[in-house]
Amino acid sequence: MILNDEQRMLRDTIADFLSKEAPIEALRALRDGESDLAWKPSLWSGLCELGAPAAASPEAEGGLGFGQVGMGALMLETGRTLCASPLLSSAIHAQAVIRHCASAEQIERRLPGLMSGDIVASVAMQEGSQFHTVPRSTRRDGNNLTGDKSLIMDAGAADYLLVSALGPADQLCIAVVSRSAPGVTIQSQRLMDGRQYGSVTLRNVEAEEWLEGDALDQGFTRALDEATIMLSCEMLGASRELLERTVAYLKEREQFGVKIGTFQALQHRLATAYCELELAAASVFNALLAMDRGEPVLSEHASEAKALVGDILQLLSNEAVQMHGGMGVTDEMDIGLFLKRSRTCNQLFGNSAFHRDRFATLRGF
Amino acid sequence: MSDTDPFRQETRAWLEAHCPVSQRQPIVREEQIWAGSRSTFPSEDARRWFEAMRDKGWTAPTWPTEYGGGGLSSDEARILEQEMARLQCRPPLYDMGLWMLGPALLTYGTPDQKTRHIPRIVRGEVRWAQGYSEPGAGSDLASLSTRAIDKGDHFVVSGTKIWTTRADVADWIFCLVRTDPDASKREGISFLLIDMASEGVSTRPIPLISGESEFCQTFFDEVQVPRENLVGELHGGWEVAKELLKHERKLMATMEAITEKVDVGLVDLAKSRLELSAAGEIADGDLRSRIATHLMHADALHHLNETIYRGMKAGQLDPALPLTLKYIGTTEQQRKDELMLEILGTDGLAMTGTDSLEQERMVRNWAYNKAHTIAGGTSEIQLNIIARRGLGLPE
């Protein structure tokens, strides 16, 4: 990623903050702790004080004006330390859904809370175990909705949910649903990456309101693409961290009287992984530039970035475990945490196979 | 650099006025314009296009004007490149001298060598061949054994070079030769320019799996080479060679762009030949997914080139990045060739005698491009370099 001076400053500030507030031990504490916290409160308030949830937006809109490249650089850093926070769920995805799917009046009412981080929201779109974009059986009936949603990031801690549903003419509808509304049951679960996700059951739940933007379909797709690109940045950060940690280990670990990094079999595996990583990185960077250029449709960029970075993260997480040998399968080593985070990241917003299929469809074959 | 940049405007107008329509098609190997006294133009349009570019110095856009080059800055050269790509202009000249020897001569050549050789390269008058590999020195290039004995005002060269591209029609060859057999491998090597018309030089074309014979073996039997043809220091040839290799690797990575346009109908080919679903999608989901992966990689490679350029301009270039280009570019080209062959099915098994030249060309390229992961430093050598210089893994 090529950053300007301001973006570099943002990246360094965030990296510095994360190393103090959200080192990997913070994720371990969250995972192993008694509480069912979705994130460490001081971490989130600190990120909000730094303005992270509004880093990308122009200053005229109350943001910090670092652009999407700046936000991407920030997300990359969170991937390096496996930082658990509602940045992706709320500051990026929910914010984008409000921005692109809500009416002007709704935006004015809902966006400031999400940008300051005082309010946390999460998007509920998936039903069942496979990712998809169009709601399946969640239905709108008047002002109420009924359905079952899964894999909602930070669902148990969110102030409200943005729930996709099908209207009477099978059109896309998006409800704002309060967590405490009658008929809402949230089942929270810590997944393998140590973070909180929820499944929600909605039984004739009265929506707080329905998003009233003009082109909901395009808006919802746009929001998904933006979030997918930002998740790809996080995954890129995790991939870089895995490669660097593995290279460092190969330079230090000795067997047969030599550093194992002298073995060509290992060198070539890491060198090919590095090439693939740089291809993915170039694709992710291009997607961020396309966002900053204001390209109207991001889907091809988003699918290319997510598929490529998904493939390399899968590969590098496996290679990292293997090359760390016996230590790689111990919980004491952080490598295993990256392995498990990689698997949830790969599923979030669709895995590589999903995005290859989507890319092929978009390219007309 | 915006669309309104005056140099861009000027360049665009000039190219539109001077590039014949027939020279704005994706290039195929048969229509490349090669330098040299024995070369002929594939068409009258090709000749006009070449001459227009030559007279502008744009066969070598960044070389100094005093040697006939275009004297463009790197920014201007990039604009020219972009505008040529926009119009799909074909490269106006193909020559190893242009790609490899010229840049090295500009760095290491004497004023006399520059004056004698560079303008003729720019004007495409001389076809250069590269004399590096030997039957016993491939990846381990520094173990080469072609001998040059120092006789004061000249050298006497004996030995053999292999994989010398079109040495049978080349006018000159640049060679690595051993001048000090007692020094360590890399320190006894010198860089010599040899006139192919010299007495004692002979060539033998090598038939390849593609059915072509682009590569030759070249033999030197007590060939006399004037001392003025020594480039760089005596025994200092390895330095010069390293400089050239850099250019060669860059070239191999962009070979795809030079030989064929990226997308030449992989998708169209598949859609016209394979079973489609009701939605018009390739029904074979596995093949469809592999085509998608290839297109994503090709796209990302383009972005990687952009990233490297931007990084260089911003002074933020990770020096390891350019090391990846040759490996990625040539590997991806082969992936594409294999996809083409797979799509052609049993039709792709015929290399000659079909009624489709286009199809035969695809099959020939599939075989020919196997050389790309070998020539100019094999993929394995590239990975060694990436691992050691890029990732810092120990030797």
Question: In this predicted complex, what is the ipTM?
Answer: 0.95
In which residue ranges of chain A is pLDDT below 50?
none
The pLDDT-based confidence of B253 (bands split at 50, 70, 90) is low
CA distances to A327, B186, B388 from B394, in Å? 21, 21, 6
pLDDT at B315 over 90: no
Please give the structure tokens belonging to residue B58.
Answer: 């744009």
Q: How far apart are the C-alpha atoms of A141 and A2, rounded to whole Å?
A: 49
Give per-residue pLDDT as tens, A196-245.
999 999 999 999 999 999 999 999 999 999 999 999 999 999 999 999 99
Q: DSSP state, B90? A: P
Nearest by CB to B387, which of A270, A286, A308? A270
Mean pLDDT of B103-112: 94
**Residue-level pLDDT at B259:** 43
Q: Do A247 and B393 touch (CB under 8 A)?
A: yes
Higher pLDDT, A319 or B247: A319
The answer to whether the beta carbons of residues B295 and B330 sit under 8 Å apart is no
**Residue-level pLDDT at B254:** 53
Nearest by CB to B394, which of A3, A259, A364? A259
Residues of A in contact with B271 (CB under 8 A): 365
Q: Do A282 and B306 touch (CB under 8 A)?
A: yes
Name B150's Cβ contacts closer than 8 Å, sequence gap at least 6. B179, B234
Q: How far apart are the C-alpha atoms of A139 and A131, rounded to whole Å?
A: 18
Mean pLDDT of chain B: 92
B181-212 burial: b if 16+ Cβ within 10 Å, else e: eeeeeeebbbbbbbebeeeebebebeeeebee
Mean pLDDT of B19-45: 91
The answer to whether the beta carbons of residues B132 and B241 sit under 8 Å apart is yes
Mean pLDDT of B202-226: 95
Residues of A in contact with B291 (CB under 8 A): 360, 365
Cα dihedral value A73, A74, A79, A80, nearest 10: 80
The pLDDT-based confidence of B376 (bands split at 50, 70, 90) is confident
What is the chain B residue with the closest CA to A288?
B303
Give per-residue pLDDT as tens, B117-133.
999 999 999 999 999 99
Tokens 């997914």 -> residue: B289
Of residues B43, B48, B52, the one with CA closest to residue B14: B52
Mean pLDDT of B289-318: 91
Q: How far apart are the C-alpha atoms of A301 and A283, rounded to whole Å?
A: 7
**Residue-level pLDDT at A215:** 94
Give per-residue pLDDT as tens, B152-200.
999 999 999 999 989 999 999 999 999 999 999 999 999 999 999 999 9
The pLDDT-based confidence of B256 (bands split at 50, 70, 90) is very low
Q: Do B292 and A353 touch (CB under 8 A)?
A: no
Residues of B in contact with A3 (CB under 8 A): 316
**Residue-level pLDDT at B313:** 83
Give per-residue pLDDT as tens, B350-369.
999 999 888 898 999 999 99
Interface residue A299 vs chain B (CB under 8 A): no
**Residue-level pLDDT at B46:** 95
pLDDT at B4 over 90: no
**Residue-level pLDDT at B262:** 40
Chain B, residues 288-307, CB within 8 A of chain A, namely: 288-289, 291-293, 295-297, 299-301, 303-304, 306-307
Name B92's Cβ contacts closer than 8 Å, sequence gap at least 6. B33, B49, B50, B52, B53, B54, B58, B59
Tokens 């090919």 -> residue: A272
Q: Do A285 and B380 touch (CB under 8 A)?
A: no
Please give the structure tokens belonging to residue A194.
Answer: 């140590």
**Residue-level pLDDT at B118:** 97
Q: How far apart are the C-alpha atoms of B161 and B135, rounded to whole Å?
A: 7
**Residue-level pLDDT at B357:** 86
Interface residue B384 vs chain A (CB under 8 A): yes
Tokens 């329509």 -> residue: B21
Q: Do A285 and B303 touch (CB under 8 A)?
A: yes
Residues of B in contact with A278 (CB under 8 A): 304, 321, 324
Q: DSSP state, B215? A: E
Q: Do A3 and B394 touch (CB under 8 A)?
A: no
3-state secondary structure A289-328: HHHHCCCCCCHHHHHHHHHHHHHHHHHHHHHHHHHCHHHH
Q: DSSP state, B282? A: B
In three-state secondary structure terms, B321 is helix
Please indicate, yes or no, whether the overall pTM of this predicted structure exceeds 0.80. yes
Residues of B in contact with A264 (CB under 8 A): 384, 387
Phi, psi (deg, nearest 5) at residue B202: -140, 160
Q: How far apart are the C-alpha atoms of A24 and A41, rounded to whole Å?
A: 16
Mean pLDDT of B210-225: 94
Q: Do A365 and B384 touch (CB under 8 A)?
A: no
Interface residue B264 vs chain A (CB under 8 A): no
